Amino acid sequence: MISNETDAVEPIDTPHGTLRTRPETAADAAFLCALHASVKAAEFAMMPVGEPIRQQLLDMQFRAMTMSYRTSFPEGRFEVITLDEAPVGRLITDSGPDRFHIVYIALLPEWRQRRIGTVLMLRVLEQPRGRGIRCEASVALDNLPSQQLWSRLGFTERARDGANLVLEWRPA
């Protein structure tokens, strides 16, 4: 449930610590860029270029992705996920009158597969449930861990394009 602008999601106690979200600030740029690099590490590791070029490409992709999200979702919530106040991920959501969209979620590698994403998404889904509206998310066809997360949460495939599944969740 949304509480206020400083804590977008009410604190959630987990076995790993207290999970929260907070609005992104300019001070988060280095963390968010490193998070992006961790998400894309395997993909970029296969590029036949040196590390300096790889880092430049990752930085450019991160800036382009962030600019695209901010343009496409001007009213979106851009948040840092924290665990005991330490940044561990990013969450971007956008809400309209008849749908709630989970634009992006990512966690640092050391926090993946530890139920952090599941616990957070269950709390986030309280928003569309309370309004009686559908929720949608997109996931890459080759991202099996994310597909499993969305399936556990009750999302079903609504459509697909060349690279992504468009998933949908409806309140019971």
- The per-residue pLDDT for range 66-117, each reduced to its tens digit, is 999 999 999 999 999 999 999 999 999 999 999 999 999 999 999 998 999 9
- The per-residue pLDDT for range 34-67, each reduced to its tens digit, is 999 898 877 766 777 777 888 888 889 999 999 9
Q: Which residues of 145-157 are buried (b: 16+ CB within 10 A; e: fewer)?
A: ebbebbeebebee
The pLDDT assigned to 142 comes to 87
**Cβ atoms 118, 155 nearer than 8 A:** no
Phi, psi of 34 (to 5 degrees): -65, -40
Query: What's the pTM?
Result: 0.89
The pLDDT assigned to 6 comes to 40
Work out the percent of the chain whose per-residue pLDDT is above 90.
Answer: 72
Domains in the chain (CATH in brackets) are 12-169 (3.40.630.30)
SS3 71: helix
Tokens 């490409």, residue located: 57
